[in-house]
Structure 1
């Protein structure tokens, strides 16, 4: 059941290691690549964000998630982790490890493919969607790591744990969650993920400076709200 998820995580890890090796590119070209990637992320984020069907839920999830994330100091703790990893792998990588880790994890772990892929693998034995996701994530990891560094490599760990959890819980999810409710959950999670990816693109362009990690609880809160609203209706 975990074949597709293992390949997905391996694609991210291997591609990021290759990307780090090709970092010696002229600064002007590296900057242009980063800007192009940022613009692509903005477009992807917008496309994902418009899939939301209930923007009241989205607003409540984002504001509640921001409050909870700020209280838990998720961004600060991840930055501390990034600094610690930076000291272990070399000073040259220290500055971007946290940013690369958080940004790439959000890019790889949010969206419909990260949910539907593991479900298809578990319930139907079909890994094709995860294989497709692996190729997309691998190419993205190659590009991102070539500019942001080794922090992208560590994103393979949460992506594997996240998708493996969905796969292993698939039978319970299928038994207790109706298809209509699952479609609603996927739509709203994809919308939240799109907003976060949009923020990543704007951050990388230095347009804004959002502590995106502090918004991560929104991805959990939105599921709880969708289920609650559905039961009330």
Structure 2
């Protein structure tokens, strides 16, 4: 059995987010209400463009898989109450820490989605797990550190606490890739990244106030897209036989 590769790259990434968030929280105190509003709009537009760029990378032949993953993922998320659970836990954490930030949960979830569902996250964490190569995660840490400044300025201290799910998700991929490298094909990485892009688009639209989309309940789509893509590939193989 291979030795487990600890997620050192993720820990460095977390440190960059903490540093950027602290800077952003400091800048927040200097901004007027008008400046915060325009910053919020700028963040929303940036997030929307990021999501579109990621979502467009999905192959046309997998578009039905993506749509079905979103539909079934949303139904599952709603049935088990993912959004309500996340809001409850976020509110409990905010109350326990006596932060007095009404946007705590929104900031945490938004930052986690932006930081952790892109191709850099998946590919970088896989590379660290399989090869011990942390170059991509170092690049990601630098980018996330800069982005966290703007996010924390607009969404508050919840952005800083996004490092907790980051450790579980991104660090978990590194550890899993160490022992199960066959799970992470290029096709799966691209599909997960594209699905994440759709969810990031939804966050951008919500930040801009143009749509109210329950992104948390849609998150099971990130897992379902892997399952359905494998079902789709087996059906294609059978039909061609």
Given the two structures, how large is their TM-score scaled by the length of structure 2? 0.90
Distance 2:38 2:163 in 1: 26
Distance 1:124 1:68 in 2: 35
Which residue pairs with 1:116 in the alignment? 123
Distance 2:231 2:155 in 1: 39
Which of 19, 22, 39 aligns to 2:24? It is: 19
Which of 220, 231, 235 aligns to 1:228? It is: 231
Distance 2:177 2:114 in 1: 22
Cα drift, residue 91 of structure 1:
5.6
Which residue pairs with 1:28 in the alignment? 34
Distance 1:186 1:123 in 2: 15
Which of 86, 101, 104 aligns to 2:111? It is: 104
Contact kept in structure 2, 1:101 and 1:152, CA below 8 Å: yes
Distance 1:136 1:9 in 2: 12
Is 1:47 matched up with 2:50?
A: no
> Stretches of 4+ moved more than 4 A in 1?
none
Which of 31, 37, 43 aligns to 1:37? It is: 43
Distance 2:165 2:139 in 1: 19
Unaligned runs of 5+ in 2: none
- Paired residue secondary structure (2:76): helix
Which of 199, 203, 209 aligns to 1:196? It is: 199
Distance 1:80 1:14 in 2: 27
Distance 2:196 2:126 in 1: 18
Which residue pairs with 2:208 in the alignment? 205
Report the CA distance shift for 1:131/1:166 in structure 2 as closer, same or farther (over 3 A): same
Distance 1:90 1:5 in 2: 27
Contact kept in structure 2, 1:85 and 1:97, CA below 8 Å: no
Which residue pairs with 1:69 in the alignment? 77
- Paired residue secondary structure (2:211): coil
Is 1:139 matched up with 2:142?
A: no
Range moving further from structure 2, 100-109 or 84-93:
84-93
Cα drift, residue 183 of structure 1:
1.4
Which residue pairs with 2:65 in the alignment? 57
Report the CA distance shift for 1:155/1:91 in structure 2 as closer, same or farther (over 3 A): closer
Given the two structures, how large is their TM-score scaled by the length of structure 1? 0.93
Q: CA offsets, 1:121-159, max 9 Å, x none?
A: 122222110000001111111111111111111211111
Distance 1:103 1:72 in 2: 21
Cα drift, residue 19 of structure 1:
1.7
